[in-house]
Amino acid sequence: MSNFKPNYFHRRDKPRGPKANEKIRALDVQVIGSDGGNLGTHPLNKAIEIAKSEGLDLIEVSPNANPPVCKIMDMGKYKYDLQKKANQAKKKQKVVSLKEIKLRPGTDVHDYNFKIKNAKKFLTKKDKVKFTVRFKGREMQHVNLGKELMTRIIEDTKDVGKIETSPKFEGRQMIMVIQPI
């Protein structure tokens, strides 16, 4: 039996990062020097020679421009700076999660107050809250109780949140989403 592996098992590596030196496919490139000054448009071979003479790499910064813009810099330092920028952006972003609170049309006062307290806590932490009122059996005849419950929720949470999705029916449940102010 031979060690033949079909093509579809072969893992194709994604290109990681920008093209550099001989991997650049353009004939002419706009060259920016290591000091940040514009060196003009040069053929690719000459641009690579300029970069090598400085002991640096020619990196394609803007591949969609015509001609592509390439900068003379150290590839390792460039990748490090890109990673650092990505980490900074990731650190600053806030992931908004959606918390769900489920109720019934006949939810008791104490349970209701407890759920509203939790909803306010979620809203102050900048999370969205999805309220779901589920109707079972004969409760479907008393949809007005669910609507009254939703209006009461809106009134009780108006100091920390505002309505994103107004109350609406989806099958046997009424759904509303409140977002933080």
List pLDDT tens digits, range 41-78.
989 889 888 899 988 989 988 888 888 999 999 888 88
pLDDT above 70 (res 145): yes
Q: Between β-strands 38-43 and 28-32, what pairing exists: parallel, antiparallel or unpaired? A: antiparallel
Domain layout of the chain by residue ranges: 8-83, 98-180
Enter the CATH code of domain 8-83.
3.10.20.80
- DSSP bridge partners of 179: 162
d(CA 77, CA 93): 25
The per-residue pLDDT for 148 is 92
Which residues are within 8 A (CB) of 164 and not within 5 positions of it... i.e. 6 or more apart? 128, 177, 178, 179
Question: What pTM, to 2 d.p., does this model score?
Answer: 0.53
98-180 domain in CATH 3.30.110.10? yes
